[in-house]
């Protein structure tokens, strides 16, 4: 993802390009490993491009969410190991993308979260389900 001026926010265009690349990688027998990373050190991906959402209709937002779901679904269908190289912010849709990777390597600067909950938005990539499966559930909650 290469949009460092907006902390690699995931736009509809980024999702379309990811889908195209992932489809090509899935069918390419010469590919051994896939690595996701964000441009720069400030963010892997800061999540969905909220500025884009503000300018779109609710139906367009649903279409963008469906594209993120398609990206996470196709990522899990690729047989090759997929690694997320995470530095800086890894939020929302970016975190959901990292959660579907086989391996996540985080720099000391990495910050994770699902802030779309505070905006009343859905987690299109099933982030809460994937996070619970990876991290496990707990009988207590710790708030900062």
**Catalytic residue flag (residue 41):** no
Catalytically annotated residue among 116, 123, 126, 130: 116
Q: Nearest-CA neighbor of 107 among 86, 137, 136, 76?
A: 86
**CB atoms closer than 10 angstroms to residue 27:** 9
Q: How far is CA 113 from the centre of its chain?
A: 11
Catalytically annotated residue among 48, 49, 52, 96: 96
**Dihedral sign from CA coordinates of 90, 95, 99, 100:** negative
**Catalytic residue flag (residue 96):** yes
Active-site residue set = 96, 116
């Amino acid at each position: 993802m290469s949009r460092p001026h907006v902390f690699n926010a995931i736009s509809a265009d980024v999702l379309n390009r990811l889908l195209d690349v992932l489809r090509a990688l899935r069918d390419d027998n010469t590919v051994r490993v896939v690595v996701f990373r964000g441009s720069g050190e400030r963010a892997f991906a800061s999540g969905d491009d909220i500025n884009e959402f503000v300018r779109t209709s609710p139906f367009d937002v649903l279409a963008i969410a469906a594209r993120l779901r398609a990206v996470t679904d196709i990522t899990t269908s690729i047989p090759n190991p997929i690694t997320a190289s995470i530095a800086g912010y890894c939020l929302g849709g970016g975190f959901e993308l990292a959660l579907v990777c086989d391996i996540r390597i985080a720099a000391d600067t990495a910050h994770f979260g699902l802030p779309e909950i505070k905006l009343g938005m859905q987690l299109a990539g099933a982030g809460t389900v994937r996070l619970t499966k990876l991290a496990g559930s707990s009988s207590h909650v710790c708030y900062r």
